[in-house]
Amino acid sequence: MTVATEAPPPSGSGTATRPRAAGRRTGPSGGWREAAAHQLFLVPVAAVFIVLFVIPLGQTFYWSLTDFTGYSDDFAFVGLENYRTILSDPSMTAGLTFTLLFAVGTTVLTTVIAIPLAVALNQRLYGRNLARSLFFFPAIPSMAVLGLVWGYILSPLGSGVLNSVLDSTLGLGPVPWLSDSTLAKFSVIMVGVWGGAGWHAVLYLAYLQSIPHEYYEVATIDGASGRQRFFHITLPLLMPAMVISQFLLMTNGLKVFDLPYTLTNGGPGFATQTITQSIIVSGVGQGQYGIASALAVLFTIAVAALAFSQLLISRRIERRVL
């Protein structure tokens, strides 16, 4: 009997983990010390999160209930007045509409372009590295620079770069790329897609290269067509990359400022105005920090809701596919 009780536990994953778990719950002070030591590693991150996010967000909410101008500490509490002003202002609702359109438009179009582009750049072809570099290049300059350059390319005059090309090649009259509300929205989204598709294609490329080649070989032997291989092997195995890419696209799209600001300055009218532009113009340009803060609070809530929903849906699809 004694021999049996003193015998070492049999090897195996189930029994091997049990004593450690039991030790953590019932052991002497070493257990909680170890747990506390682990938690200590989170302190710097938590401190940064609190200082750079929680406190500013709390302050923003506080200012959103005031008529703070940004120039004087002499301010008054106005309750939810700033929120009422925002929700009744047509320019703010126009800004919200275009921001959502830009975020969704760039997310969908970039994804639709970036995945086939990544597949193409993954093929064995002459000058592949040069092609990858060329497609990645638009992601290097800032969006503000892209906006200024594209402003000349998309000039609505006949002397604009794109209009000159259209005229000389197809005989088309000048197209009002930036002076027509609908075309201006389309132009801003297209430039955003042009600037981001290459970067996201490289992201997909990294995931593509991790897909075992044997899958394709087996599928080919089984007689699967190229289309079937793409939809039944490539696309499902790219799902983790799509989650990351679309999350980045959506969040960056929602907080976009530099591209529309430099390309159209929010015009014509309020057609391409974004929420971030409204926040900056109201807060800094117009000394309405209360209104800008209220807008920032509403926008933070909207972005958080969208981002969480997107993550939730993506993970559910990911689980179903993989």
Residue closer to other proteins by CB (options 167, 180) is 180
Residue number with CB closer to other proteins (70 or 138): 70
Q: Are 169 and 283 in contact (CB under 8 A)?
A: no
| CB closer to other proteins, 72 vs 129 | 72
* C-beta closer to other proteins: residue 110 or 276: 276
Interface ranges with other proteins (CB under 8 A): 69-74, 85, 89, 91, 151-152, 155-157, 159, 174, 176-181, 184, 264-270, 273, 280-281, 284-288
Q: What are phi and psi of 97, to 5 degrees?
A: -60, -50
Decide whether 39 or 159 has the Cβ nearer to other proteins: 159
The least CB distance from residue 291 to other proteins, in Å, is 10
Is the bond into 268 cis (omega within 30 degrees of 0)?
yes
Q: Minimum Å distance from CB 221 to other proteins?
A: 56
What b/e readout covers 184-193, taking b as 16+ CB neighbours within 10 angstroms? bbebbbbbbb
Contact 85, 295 (CB under 8 A): no
Cβ proximity to other proteins, 159 vs 228, nearer residue: 159
Report in angstroms how near the CB of residue 49 gets to other proteins at its nearest: 20
Lookup: tokens for 209: 């290269």
- Give the span between the Cα atoms of 223 and 217, in whole angstroms: 10
Selection from 298, 288, 307 nearest residue 103 by Cα? 307
- Name the minimum Å distance from CB 232 to other proteins: 46
- Residues 6 or more apart in contact with residue 118 via CB below 8 angstroms: 201, 202, 203, 204, 205, 208
Q: What's the closest the beta carbon of residue 156 comes to other proteins, in angstroms?
A: 4
Nearer to other proteins, 73 or 222 (CB): 73
Beta carbons of 276 and 296 less than 8 angstroms apart: no
Q: How far is the CB of 264 from other proteins (least distance, A)?
A: 7
Q: Which is nearer to other proteins, 286 or 309 (CB)?
A: 286
- Strands, DSSP E only, in the chain? none
Q: What is the DSSP letter of 218?
A: H
Closest distance between other proteins and the C-beta of residue 115, in Å? 33
Q: Are 238 and 115 in contact (CB under 8 A)?
A: yes
Count of H helices and E strands in the chain?
A: 18, 0
Q: How far is the CB of 58 from other proteins (least distance, A)?
A: 18
- What's the chain's Rg over C-alpha atoms? 27
Calculate the alpha carbon distances from 132 to 135, 201, 205, 207 in Å.
5, 9, 10, 15
